Amino acid sequence: MKGFAVFARKEALEIVRTWRIWVLPGMVLFFALSGPLMAKWTPQIVTAVGGPAVAKVFQALPTPTYLDAYGQWTKNLTQILLIAIIIIYGNLISGERKSGTAILVVTKPVSRSAFVVAKALVHGLFLSATVLAGTALTWAVTRVAFVNAPPAALWAGTFAWLTLALFFLAVMTLLSVLVDSQAGAAGIGIGVFAVLSISALWQVMALFSPAALISAPMVLTSGKDYPIAIPVMVTVAATMVIVYAAAQAFRFKEI
């Protein structure tokens, strides 16, 4: 893949110098700081606002633990950040084509395959670094809020989610090659997410496909076991195949 290293460096610098450096890290920072505190203090806040009647309801509920903070983290990742990733990366390739950057790059010594793979890899590393840093911050804040907070469940749940997020980044890379509209690609991406969520009701999909990784993070951060080895391997393989398909599709795409 000619020009891969040069274009990857350009893509990394573009992340640092544009809005992308603020959006995902900003969301992750907010979730990392607010999740543990909400898990710790929401009962007291609601009780103070709602009065004695509400206080009786919360008294009947279990006392919040560090697992509630971990669960809030993975809930935010699955329900909010994953959808944000689908929307943001709906124009990962098509945006470059519309701006004219793509034609300038591929007429230089940068192959079309290198163009697609470099974008997917750089943004995958950016997403991974952002989420891992957020996970460490979540654990630190949880330790402050709950004192005793072993990190194993948090990291297991985050790893499962990150595998799924990178899969969707690959899906959006392919869709942004095939679909010129960001809204159209994002709509299809959300449709893929919905289909996977529904297919998880089928036991085979729930145990042997990326669909398993939709619910696995919440289960793992609750302190329970979940058999993710096979779904993770299948999802990693599917991610690589989809990025390869995106690179091949871009070779025949008019720019």
What secondary structure does DSSP assign to 130-146, as a single string? HHHHHHHHHHHHHHHHH
Residue at 220 is within a domain: yes
The percentage of residues in the chain with a pLDDT greater than 70, rounded to a whole number, is 87
- The more confident residue out of 46 and 114 is 114
The pLDDT of residue 1 = 64
Nearest to 165 by CA among 243, 86, 87: 86
- Residue 107 carries which side chain, given as an amino acid letter? T
The pLDDT of residue 61 = 61
Residue at 53 is within a domain: no
Cβ atoms < 10 Å from Cβ of 203: 8
CA gyration radius, the chain: 20
Residue at 148 is within a domain: yes
Asked if residues 170 and 246 have their Cβ atoms less than 8 Å apart, the reply is yes
Number of domains the chain contains: 1
User: For the chain, what is the mean pLDDT?
Assistant: 88
Burial (Cβ within 10 Å: 0-12, 13-18, ≥19) of residue 99: exposed
Each residue's pLDDT tens digit, 137-149: 999 999 998 888 8
Mean pLDDT of all residues in 175-203: 94
The pLDDT of residue 112 = 85
pLDDT score of 255 more than 90: no
d(CA 121, CA 131): 15
Q: Of 39-48, 95-104, 145-154, which has the strongest mean pLDDT?
A: 145-154
Residue at 118 is within a domain: yes
pLDDT score of 58 more than 60: no
Mean pLDDT of all residues in 40-63: 62
d(CA 77, CA 115): 28
Domain of residue 113: give its range.
4-36+64-251
Number of H helices, E strands in the chain: 13, 0
In this structure, of 39-43, 132-136, 142-146, the range with the lowest mean pLDDT score is 39-43
Mean pLDDT of all residues in 215-241: 95
Q: Can you give the pTM of this predicted structure? A: 0.91
In this structure, of 29-38, 61-70, 132-141, the range with the lowest mean pLDDT score is 61-70
The pLDDT of residue 45 = 61
Residue at 57 is within a domain: no
The pLDDT of residue 138 = 96
d(CA 129, CA 59): 40
Residue at 143 is within a domain: yes
The pLDDT of residue 163 = 98
Residue at 210 is within a domain: yes
pLDDT score of 190 more than 90: yes
Residue at 52 is within a domain: no
The pLDDT of residue 248 = 94
- The more confident residue out of 100 and 146 is 146
CA triple 205-208-209, angle to 5 deg: 65
Structure-derived torsion over alpha carbons of residues 136, 139, 34, 74, reported in degrees to the nearest 10: 80
The pLDDT of residue 240 = 97
